[in-house]
Amino acid sequence: MSTTTMPNNQAPSVASGVSSLAPDLRWADVAQAPDPDRSAALVAALRAALPAHCVLAGVEQTRPYECDGLSAFRQLPVAVCLPENEQQVQQALRICREHDVPVVARGSGTSLSGGAMPHASGVVLSLARLNRILSVDPLARTARVQPGVRNLAISEAAAPHGLYYAPDPSSQIACSIGGNIAENSGGVHCLKYGLTVHNVLRVRGLTIDGEIIELGSAALDVPGLDLLALSIGSEGMLMVVTEALVKLVPKPQLARVVMASFDDVAKAGDAVAAIIGAGIIPAGLEMMDRKASAAVEPFVKAGYDLSAEAILLAESDGSPEEVEEEIERMMTVLRDAGATALVVSRSEAERLRFWSGRKNAFPAAGRISPDYYCMDGTIPRKNLGRMLVAISEMEQTYQLRCMNVFHAGDGNLHPLILFDANQPGEWERADRFGADILELCVELGGTVTGEHGVGIEKINSMCVQFSPAEREAFFALKRAFDPPGLLNPGKGIPTLARCAEYGKMHVHGGRVAFPDIERF
């Protein structure tokens, strides 16, 4: 797994540190203790319907599924189902429906928002065994895949045809296409090549009633409402995907990256705007602040300029003529924007080395800090400077360090808040630090999540971003697809009651009134 929120989450001390937390407001909906008789009946029904090795129950067997990449949130389910075909998925859903228990679909478990965290009285439906690439059609430029197929495996299968699957989240070596669909995953190339929603043509899946539905098609559009767009990014709350038809695109002949140093973060931000303003859409446009480059450089030896306040990586891809022209133009813009140093990759190995630091920012955070908490807000790029100043102030307020990596091209921030879960109160401070960043994202005209999803993590922050009428519209869609509300309940969209409770507790600036009173 290339992305984990807390790289040492296997250490028992971290787990105990987390479990000693005061009951979390976000948790109540998914942590209701199950009725033992009902749970036993559920497990018996699942075992009767599915092969023995496809049903896991009991603490020992279900422990590996208690959390996803956001390990601060853990919960054991009643059972884990690992169906091997669509029919078994259908049976598992039918049983959950009959027993009226929640179902949490899970891919590779790399979610950073707790989207795949289990429900205490429910079932985790792992799609990991539906991991076959069913076909690759080089002429139509599509691949038909099962949900458990890893993102990178699609590109590997398409490579002999000179094609690849464009969205490339940092976790692409591990994350599944089903999970990408649930989260509408992005990556470092999505300004030019789009998100999951732009690269999936059709999904096939099951409703909670076990009905098979197909949204979208191998054609470019279908009549009726665009339910395909609605299903992508729906965090497993509308349907369970059993198959997807994804778009493949021709692999660019060449890619080169410019690495630019800036002595001021705001100047780097302006340089990003200047590149876009010059009519260039780079294949990738990423920024790291000094704390981030200092953390990764000893680790990956990418050759970063450690005296720079910010480093920009701007990539160009296409035909050799195109790349040469675009690199030339970007260099001019970056120079005019005040870059203190410019280096262009001269080989594929060097290009990958320049990127390696950016791609390894999360593990690097894990090297310099016992734990880190990755945020995912998006803001209009023009507000970057303001955001970074505010984050520095928050570092003082919460007495925690924060390093910043940033999908600069599309305004998606990944501040990494460094903390030590073994120190009493640090996780709580990190959590509030994060909530403050997200609230500021909304205030600056952005959103609480650009690509990691709401899950359980940002459920309270959703109260800040959406009005009651807007949240009701989300619930309306949820009811249309899932009338009994059994698909991943308690995630994604906060109820009116939850927001009311959060509103009462939440005081601007992240401080909770009367912190010594128990809350849940």
Partner 1 sequence: MTTQVPADSALMALRDCVRAAQADRTRLRLHGGNTKSFYGEPATGEPLDLRSIAGIVDYEPTELVVTVRCGTPLAELEQVLAARQQYLAFEPPHFGAGATVGGMVAAGLSGPRRATAGAVRDFMLGAVLMNASGELLHFGGQVMKNVAGYDVSRLLAGSMGILGPIVQVSLKVLPVPAAEATVCLSIGLREALSQMNRWGAQPLPLSGTSWAGGELMVRLSGAGAAVDAAVARLAADHGTRLIDPMAARAHWSGLREQTDAFFDDPLPLWRLSVPSGAPIFELPGRQLVEWGGALRWFKSDADAAFVRQAAATVGGTATRFRAAEAASGVFPALPAPILELHRRIKKEFDPRGLFNPGRLVAGL
Nearer to partner 1, 197 or 421 (CB): 197
Residue selected from 51, 298, 424, 445 as contacting partner 1 according to rule CB under 8 A: 445
Residue selected from 78, 89, 195, 361 as contacting partner 1 according to rule CB under 8 A: 195
Structure tokens at 251: 């692999």
Stretch that binds partner 1, among 93-101, 268-276, 298-306, 351-359 (CB under 8 A): 268-276
Under the binding rule (CB under 8 A), the answer on residue 114 touching partner 1 is no
DSSP characters for 61-78? Answer: HHGGGS--S-TTS----S
Residue selected from 97, 251, 353, 401 as contacting partner 1 according to rule CB under 8 A: 251
Residue selected from 2, 8, 11, 194 as contacting partner 1 according to rule CB under 8 A: 194
- In the three-class reduction of DSSP (H, G, I as helix; E, B as strand; rest coil), residue 81 is classed as strand
Q: Shortest distance, CB of residue 162 to partner 1, whole angstroms?
A: 7
Nearer to partner 1, 213 or 294 (CB): 213
Strand 142-145 relative to strand 133-137, pairing = antiparallel
Residues 397-416 that bind partner 1 (CB under 8 A): 407, 409-412
Under the binding rule (CB under 8 A), the answer on residue 55 touching partner 1 is no
Nearer to partner 1, 191 or 405 (CB): 191
Under the binding rule (CB under 8 A), the answer on residue 217 touching partner 1 is yes
Query: Which neighbouring-strand residues pair with 240?
Result: 206
Under the binding rule (CB under 8 A), the answer on residue 492 touching partner 1 is yes
Under the binding rule (CB under 8 A), the answer on residue 469 touching partner 1 is yes
Residue 134 has what DSSP assignment? E
Question: What is the spatial distance between Cα 178 and Cα 149, in angstroms, rounded to a whole number?
Answer: 8
Q: In the chain, what is the greatest distance between 2 CA atoms, to the nearest angstrom?
A: 71
Residue selected from 380, 484, 503, 509 as contacting partner 1 according to rule CB under 8 A: 380
Contact 105, 125 (CB under 8 A): yes
Residue selected from 175, 190, 287, 292 as contacting partner 1 according to rule CB under 8 A: 190
Under the binding rule (CB under 8 A), the answer on residue 473 touching partner 1 is yes
Nearer to partner 1, 218 or 389 (CB): 218
- Rounded to the nearest angstrom, the gap between the alpha carbon of residue 346 and the centroid of all alpha carbons in its chain is 32
- Rounded to the nearest angstrom, the gap between the alpha carbon of residue 440 and the centroid of all alpha carbons in its chain is 19
Under the binding rule (CB under 8 A), the answer on residue 92 touching partner 1 is no
Contact 410, 450 (CB under 8 A): yes
Under the binding rule (CB under 8 A), the answer on residue 366 touching partner 1 is no
Task: Report helix angle 36-49 to 86-99, nearest 10.
Answer: 150
Stretch that binds partner 1, among 63-71, 137-145, 285-293, 340-348 (CB under 8 A): 137-145
- In the three-class reduction of DSSP (H, G, I as helix; E, B as strand; rest coil), residue 155 is classed as helix
- In this structure, the dihedral spanned by the alpha carbons of residues 172, 174, 179 and 180, taken in order and rounded to 10 degrees, is 0
